[in-house]
Amino acid sequence: STDDVVITVNEGATGSAGADASICAGTTHTLSGSVGGSAGSSVWTSSGTGTFDDTTSATATYTPSAADVLLGTITLTITTDDPDAGGPCTAATDDMVLTFYASPTASIASSVDILCTGDNTGSATAAATGGTGPYTYVWSDPSFQTTIMATGLYAGQVGVMVTDANGCQDTVSIVLTRS
């Protein structure tokens, strides 16, 4: 007589939280997690106090809290389900570290109003604090000047976007009038 034995081999669960990332304060981060093997679902958790738009999506968006940003880094963890509910296979977990860069604060240090109606004799000088230098500047005037001081400006509103070495940005604007 012959006895047949059926052996079922369950593939183990896999989960990846994706690569570590750095973002600017005040922005969100879309995760690049993945689930594989015999795992059917996953859930995200955070060492911080921010929120996920959907903790069960491998590609959820994380919105950091102010406390997260103050910490400087947090750990985000993806955990899969237990694919065979208590059998020899177990859930998989993986972490990624999210680092926060401080954003610069842009301001107008000085400005010169227009001398006569229709003239382009105005100017404005930007300043930046915080973030990580060096800074770059892009003005919203017709020629998109890229220096700390914009010249040849007409009456009206002009803005400047300041970008720091980490790509973090802030904008500020001023209204120039005829003096």
Mean pLDDT of 114-138: 95
pLDDT at 127 over 90: yes
**Position 139: which residue type?**
W
Taking the C-alpha atoms of residue 175 and residue 179, their distance in angstroms, rounded to an integer, is: 12
Closest CA relative to residue 100, chosen from 22, 154, 162? 22
Q: 161: exposed, middle or buried (C-beta count within 10 Å: 0-12, 13-18, 19+)?
A: middle
Q: 179: exposed, middle or buried (C-beta count within 10 Å: 0-12, 13-18, 19+)?
A: exposed
- Say what the pLDDT of residue 6 is: 81
E strands, the chain, are 13-16, 21-24, 29-30, 34-37, 42-46, 51-52, 61-63, 73-80, 93-101, 104-112, 122-130, 136-139, 149-153, 156-163, 169-176
pLDDT at 87 over 90: no
**Tens digits of per-residue pLDDT, 44-85?**
999 999 999 999 999 999 999 999 999 999 999 999 998 777
- Say what the pLDDT of residue 76 is: 98
Tokens 């993806």 belong to which residue? 78
Closest CA relative to residue 106, chosen from 151, 49, 161, 62? 161
Mean pLDDT of 155-159: 96
Q: What is the pTM assigned to this prediction? A: 0.80
Taking the C-alpha atoms of residue 79 and residue 17, their distance in angstroms, rounded to an integer, is: 9
